[in-house]
């Protein structure tokens, strides 16, 4: 574990700071309706980490939380509205959005929920119709 790296992240205004430690479990893009509505963007670039790898180092009292479904607890900064992360308790991972941790090299490997896409991305990466089978999805791949 000598090369364990720590990467710093922050919200839009800087009131909330966090760190992520070690290597992400997975990185990629989610094209689902929920990510679109929450982010107000066409896709969510996700970085999945073990929850224990994510530490809020400043401004924990400024973090708002919203849980629409049992799958996702979404968190943001109440001072600036900037989004921070989504906890996925059923999967045992936390998505710290790639844009929140810019110094962690983003290496996307997969697209999920591509059946719902509004922005086709022809990058040669696998396009899961919903989720990989090991995450409880169909594992079906779609054309780009």
Where does this chain bind Zn ion (CB under 5 A)?
11, 13, 15, 30, 32, 35, 77, 79-80, 82
Nearer to Zn ion, 22 or 106 (CB): 106
Rounded to the nearest whole angstrom, what is the least distance from the CB of residue 32 to Zn ion in the complex? 3
- Which region, left, alpha or beta, applies to residue 14 given φ > 0 means left and ψ of -120 to 50 means alpha? left
Nearer to Zn ion, 7 or 88 (CB): 88
Distance (Å) of CA 19 to CA 8, 36, 142:
4, 25, 35
State in Å, rounded, how far the first CA of the chain is from the last one.
Answer: 38
Rounded to the nearest whole angstrom, what is the least distance from the CB of residue 105 to Zn ion in the complex? 22
Rounded to the nearest whole angstrom, what is the least distance from the CB of residue 44 to Zn ion in the complex? 5
- What stretch of H or E contains 33? helix 33-39
Nearer to Zn ion, 7 or 31 (CB): 31
Closest by CA position to 132, among listed 140, 124, 144: 140
Rounded to the nearest whole angstrom, what is the least distance from the CB of residue 27 to Zn ion in the complex? 14
- Which region, left, alpha or beta, applies to residue 124 given φ > 0 means left and ψ of -120 to 50 means alpha? left
Nearer to Zn ion, 6 or 13 (CB): 13
């Amino acid at each position: 574990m000598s090369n364990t790296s720590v990467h710093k992240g922050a919200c839009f205004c800087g009131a909330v700071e966090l760190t992520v430690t070690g290597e992400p479990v997975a990185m990629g893009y989610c094209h689902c309706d929920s990510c679109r509505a929450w982010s107000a963007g066409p896709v969510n670039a996700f970085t999945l980490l073990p929850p224990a790898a994510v530490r809020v180092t400043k401004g924990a009292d400024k973090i708002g939380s919203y849980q629409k479904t049992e799958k996702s607890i979404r968190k943001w900064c109440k001072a600036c509205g900037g989004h921070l992360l989504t906890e996925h308790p059923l999967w045992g991972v936390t998505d710290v959005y790639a844009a929140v941790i810019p110094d962690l090299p983003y290496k996307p490997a997969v697209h999920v929920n591509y059946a719902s896409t509004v922005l086709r991305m022809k990058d040669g990466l696998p396009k899961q119709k919903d989720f990989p089978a090991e995450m409880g999805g169909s594992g079906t791949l779609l054309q780009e």
